[in-house]
Amino acid sequence: MAIEWRILGRAGADNALHVVVDTGQARESLLFDCGERCLDELRPAAVQAVAHLCFSHFHMDHVAGFDGFFRLNYNRPEVPVGVWGPPGTIEVMGHRFAGFVWNLHRDQSGEWIVREIGREEIGTARFLTSEAFAPARRLPDRPREGSVVHRTRDWHLEARLLPHGSIPSVAYRVVESPRRNIDPLALRRYDYLPGAWLQEVADDTTSDAELVEVGGRSLRVGELRRELVVTSPGDSIAWLTDFLVEPGSEEWDGLVAWLAGTGTLVCECQYRSADAALAAANAHMTADLVGRLAAEAGVDRLVLQHLSRRYGAEEWLGMLGEATAFFPKTILPPEWNLGA
């Protein structure tokens, strides 16, 4: 199990986050936002492998690259394309789909499941390529249960609405399920002979009540799990962009609690600390606030993205310094080659 990630797009330009959750058996891909030219750095096969496209919001710099994504995936067979976003996503996506002339679509495969994340519920609509993506086929809303919006056996997706001026911006977190490993020391301590039975103990689908043969003895899987299995938390990564939350507010405390223990926090860092007035006027964060947020949440590392193009390389490095003053384990995306 591992989470691979990469920031797409350059410093001062549109950015996106590509995440691959490698479960050992499969590689599942998610894309967070889709700004202009962000897909240039991915091979077409990687774009076609994206199972979930997660929009924070629909300001132009987060959606301008969508046509390239759509072109590679509009008639994707078998695996539907999942789209996530804030309230209004179904309507916006309907307009995007309708922005083309369709006349060779009737026999084409392709299914898009578009979900909009509200505070209380999640709305869903299906769009089919064979119907030229119209009408949106609404499915019943489902109530939200905590922050988790999508769950698989190996990982889950969480979402939280953050304030971005008069609109919400969705923050996301991908969290691997806890890892269960056999403790080799415990194996020796109990003097069990290793064998095929170890796989049954490690396999989640085997029930605790089942019996396995261990060195000629018949033992319960549940009992062996209690003796031998150590559980450690899985890795996690969060995508936060286009928001302003003030320290000391209820919103800040809630965000800190939600992010607590996150592995990698990828966060917008639009303005220098000295430009706080500008940041407040445009509902964005400053470098010092981002560093404070990472420090209070106790994440493992902080990656800055969405830096304003009003600055140059020297000032972007200055912003790194401003965040690092609060949270030392802060980096700029390595692909940017800014010498930091």
Contact range with Zn ion by CB under 5 A, out of 37-45, 206-214, 235-243, 253-261 = 235-243
The string over 68-87, giving b where at least 16 C-beta atoms fall within 10 Å of a residue's C-beta and e elsewhere, is bbbebbbebeeebbbbbbbb
Nearest residue (CB) to Zn ion, 113 versus 276: 276
Q: How far is the CB of 93 from Zn ion (least distance, A)?
A: 18
Question: How far from 288 is each of 13, 101, 176, 192, 325, CA to CA, in Å?
Answer: 21, 48, 29, 54, 8
Among 116, 242, 288, 296, contact with Zn ion (rule: CB under 5 A)? 242
Q: How far is the CB of 183 from Zn ion (least distance, A)?
A: 46
Contact range with Zn ion by CB under 5 A, out of 77-85, 129-137, 227-235, 240-248 = 240-248
Contact range with Zn ion by CB under 5 A, out of 56-64, 147-155, 190-198, 256-264 = 56-64
Q: Can you tell me the distance from the alpha carbon of 284 to that of 305, in angstroms, rounded to the nearest whole number?
A: 12
Q: How far is the CB of 58 from Zn ion (least distance, A)?
A: 9
By the rule CB under 5 A, 59 interacts with Zn ion: yes
By the rule CB under 5 A, 14 interacts with Zn ion: no
DSSP string of 206-263?
Answer: S-TT-EEEETTEEEEHHHHHHHHEEEEPPPEEEEE-S----TTSHHHHHHHHHHTT-S
Contact range with Zn ion by CB under 5 A, out of 5-13, 59-67, 125-133, 228-236 = 59-67
Nearest residue (CB) to Zn ion, 150 versus 160: 160
Q: How far is the CB of 85 from Zn ion (least distance, A)?
A: 13
Q: How far is the CB of 144 from Zn ion (least distance, A)?
A: 23
Residue 166: exposure state from Cβ atoms within 10 A (0-12, 13-18, ≥19): exposed
CB of 56 within 8 A of CB of 170? yes
Q: List the interface residues with Zn ion, window 157-216 (CB under 5 A).
A: none
What six digits make up the tokens of 74?
């509009």
Task: Verify whether residue 61 is a known catalytic residue.
Answer: yes
Of the residues 61, 154, 235, 242, only one is catalytic, namely: 61
Q: Can you tell me the distance from the alpha carbon of 215 to that of 238, in angstroms, rounded to the nearest whole number?
A: 45
By the rule CB under 5 A, 61 interacts with Zn ion: yes
Amino acid identity at 339: G
Look at residue 270 and give its three-state secondary structure: coil
Name the residues that contact Zn ion, by CB under 5 A. 59, 61, 242
Q: Which residues are known catalytic residues?
A: 61
